[in-house]
Chains A and B, each alone.
Chain A
Amino acid sequence: MVKVKEAAPSGLEHENVEDLKHYYYQMLLIRRFEERTSEMYVKAKIGGYCHLNLGEEATIVGLMAALKPEDYIFTNYREHGYIIARGVPPGPVMAELFGKETGVARGRGGSMHLFSREHNFMGGYAIVGGQVPLAVGAAYALRYQGKPGVVVAQMGDGTTNIGAFYESLNLAKLWRCPVLFFIVNNGYGMGTSVEMGSSEPDLWKKGASFRIHGERIDGTDVLAVRDAVRRLRERAESEGEPAILDVVSFRFRGHSVIDADRYRDPEAVRAGREHHDPVRNFAALLHDHEIVDDAWLKVTAERVEREVQEAIDFANASPDPRFEDLYENMYATPVPNTPGREDALQAVRINRGEW
């Protein structure tokens, strides 16, 4: 992990105790959701590519704690935790991973393409960099319509090497779009380290030639993330100043569920899990400050366990999408000469050898 400047130890005296407990609960919820997701993948309940947020819980919860309901979020494909922390119940998220009709994208999107209009969660995007200009566009629309709020363009470190990122920086600054470029710097894009992929490994500096302010923060510290986002969010909203946040975190496992993680030094991975576990560290912090006790931690763990199990049960019990709905939502404006329900059923019969 990249070394982050030592911040003064967070003074918790100004904190709302209920907020702190809620952050912990959310982080643990993401942790267990992802661990159970990995289990469900092995059981073939989930297919396709599946990327987990394990190790990035504080980054996610800190970000969401600073955002307001009117803000919008665009993410990459490693987004289960983001949509949960934004307030979508785990059930419909798990149902999406199971490809069920009750999923957040009605089973059409899957793990990499989660969405919730109601929560201004504007999608997980699986083509690297694809979400970045879209987020700038959403910020452009907010400014155009004179609406409050900002837009977060979440992405990974590796994504800062693609052209769309640089074009987006320029446009965001040029057109004063209230957007935060939120870089989850977990040190790797698949097997490519930041140093291997970026000639400027200090990712927060990548806005320099666009005159975009950047900062590096410790992504395993939920309060540091929250405070930085709050501050930069304010500026983005009131002054139309985009900013880059280089949020250093640690990926507990391989790139995706099926990645054996052979390219990382096992010792470094072990040490990372040991020292940079945001969930465990935050529990210890709260415990040391006597904000929570063992009993509360136990009850919270049980609550999370139950909620994740309920999400799995919900997903299991949910119906699959219906074949006749295959062509539904193809176009928002109806148009002639496009296939419909009967065509779908006919094609399905042929495809399944049921003629």
Chain B
Amino acid sequence: MSYSTFNRKHFDSTKEPMFFGENVNVARYDQQKHPIFEKLIEKQLSFFWRPEEVDLSTDRKDFQRLEEHEQHIFLSNLKYQTLLDSVQGRSPNVALLPIVSLPELETWIETWSFSETIHSRSYTHIIRNIVNDPTVIFDDIVTNKEITKRADSVSKYYDQLIEMVNIYNTMGLGTFNIPGKGDIEISMKALKKALYLTVASVNVLEAVRFYVSFACSFGFAERTLMEGNAKIIKLIARDEALHLTGTQHMLNLMASGKDDPEMATIAAECKENMRNIFIEAAQQEKEWATYLFKDGSMIGLNAEILGQYVEYITNVRMQAVGLDTHFETKHNPIPWINAWLVSDNVQVAPQEAEISSYLVGQTDNSLDDSDFDDFDL
């Protein structure tokens, strides 16, 4: 079945499953099958921010004063974040838009992906500010072995789903011989399974991998270093909290069978598989921690502590999608991270204050004569 950008069929989109039903036609939000996605869109829109609003002038000086191994930690972490958001800025769109069937979910996917592009833009803002030649940093993301290893694991499921959906959209169902890849079976079940595992791996990307990187960013800020960077990461973390809620809803809705009964069976069959995605990712993140701290640790953070945080946060996230926890670590080894993650104390820079007062100023247009009734002239 090939994709149509405007499905001509007349159908009730509130009766469609989240994925693999009809292609969406009218983008309407007055009625929703799953109102949660509409709520996520509204919340995400209310979070809108721009990297340039955050002043990074002291970060440059801070960075120059860091020890060499600390610069390695900071830059490697930033490269990893850049990789993750490069993937997230496009993949939900490329992988999920061709198969989504609900207007509110379609728009959530687009809104979600769009916010990732803001994250990517903020890394350029940060990198430009601390080094003279950003190309050196960006190039290393595609050549550095430790980073490319991470790229493989975060893009694997997306790429597989995209490939299968491409075949499905051109050839339909069946078994197809793809040059260089051998026989690929395209059945509804295989497609749905690939989808479920992709959403699980995206949840791991945003809810586990990203939080490990946040811990490093805030590790510097705990020592009052790179605080502009931490401000940006706080804004990114606020968005990610919403994104991970989005994938948790998708996974839990799928597993419940309330959205698509066949998906419940698939979720049950994939449970072990999903567990392993979490456990493997945690293992990879621990290896990454070893690479980060290979030349020395920082005050308050080293490979061991970060490894414990990986285990702890993986437990938290596994539980949120209905899995039993896997690791022994049941306490947060870096409880100070929560005070950084919480968004209500994101400091407002003077230029932000100006922008918000500019927006607020617009409401003055709605004043009418009755507003002046109390004035005695």
Chain B associates with chain A: no
Which B positions have Cβ atoms within 8 angstroms of A? none
